[in-house]
Amino acid sequence: MAEASLTASIFSEFNEYLTNDQDVREEIRVAVRAMEQTAREVMTTLEGIHQSAGLKEAPALCQKARKLLETTRSQFAELQKKVPADQYYRFHDHWRFVSQRLSFLAALIVYLEAERLVTREEVAHLMGVSVRKEDGFHLDLEDFLQGLLQLASELSRLAINSVTAGEYDRPVRISNFIQELNTGFRLLNLKNDSLRKRFDGLKYDIKKVEEVVYDISIRGLKPASAGGGEGGDEPPTSSTGAE
């Protein structure tokens, strides 16, 4: 019967491990839920830019969104406490979605403010996490890239709505921006995973924006200042987009 007790102890140990694991996951889930709530609030705030008067208020909306986004710093700190050191990737699935979402929101805010691509450092800073894996809790590169791809779909929507709101130069700038993003993404050797799948959708966003640019240019709606050909290499004007 010595065997029996040995086997039993092996499995009771494993059972204990499982129980602990479940507890940790439960706590992580609670922390992530709070972050998802914040992300939704920021999203709702930024939705305002699609309103016909919204683009003029973009700076104000961004400021508000930035404020809201700041709460994620403490929420990430909270989450970080719950994830055992060196086990980031064991539980990564729990916050993968929300960190993609937050990357997207940060990128959108930065785009609306300065019409440029957010850097990974900025996003990590906004969330109060590190960029490098070695420092423990960090922003995963693939999550960040997913966030950028979400930005592209949001901007293709914005291109359409800005035309409706009577802003005819914005789609051209968005087109330039997305083209640049596309160039960047095509430098990457993606594996056949979710990031690749999302990237495959980028061309439809590009196409949508190109069509908008086409529509306004054949009708002579495009302001002369906005540059030459569709998606041409004219540098984007660095206005805040409030005019």
- Residues annotated within the binding site for Mg(2+) are 154
Our CB check for another protein shows the closer of 59 and 84 to be: 84
* Gyration radius from the chain CA atoms: 22
Our CB check for another protein shows the closer of 56 and 157 to be: 157
Distance CA 164, CA 169 (A): 12
Q: Which residues pair with 138 in a beta bridge?
A: 130
Per CB under 8 A, does 30 bind another protein?
Answer: no
Distance CA 74, CA 240 (A): 29
Q: Which two tokens stand for residue 192?
A: 């056949």
Q: Which two tokens stand for residue 227?
A: 């540059």
Residue type, 75: Q
Q: Is 130 helix (H, G, I), strand (E, B) or coil?
A: strand
Binding site as annotated, residues: 154
Our CB check for another protein shows the closer of 18 and 60 to be: 18
Single residue of 74, 186, 238, 240 touching another protein by CB under 8 A? 186
CB 101 within 8 Å of CB 147: yes
Per CB under 8 A, does 185 bind another protein?
Answer: yes
- 126-37-112 Cα angle (round to 5): 45
Per CB under 8 A, does 13 bind another protein?
Answer: yes
What is the contact mask toward another protein in residues 87 to 106, using x (rule: CB under 8 A)? xxxx-x--------------
Per CB under 8 A, does 132 bind another protein?
Answer: yes
Our CB check for another protein shows the closer of 2 and 53 to be: 2
Q: Which stretch binds another protein (CB under 8 A): 26-34, 52-60, 95-103, 141-149?
A: 141-149
Q: Which stretch binds another protein (CB under 8 A): 26-34, 64-72, 97-105, 188-196?
A: 188-196
Report, in Å, the least distance between residue 209 CB and another protein: 10
Residues 101-130 that bind another protein (CB under 8 A): 116-117, 119-120
Could you tell me how many residues make up the chain? 243
CB 195 within 8 Å of CB 142: yes
Single residue of 143, 154, 169, 210 touching another protein by CB under 8 A? 210
Per CB under 8 A, does 220 bind another protein?
Answer: no
Helix (H) or strand (E) holding 143: helix 141-164
The rounded Cα 208 to chain-centroid distance in angstroms is: 20
Distance CA 92, CA 94 (A): 5
Q: Which residues bind another protein (CB under 8 A)?
A: 3-4, 6-8, 10-11, 13-15, 17-18, 22, 86-90, 92, 116-117, 119-120, 132-134, 141-142, 145, 179-191, 203, 207, 210-211, 214, 229-233
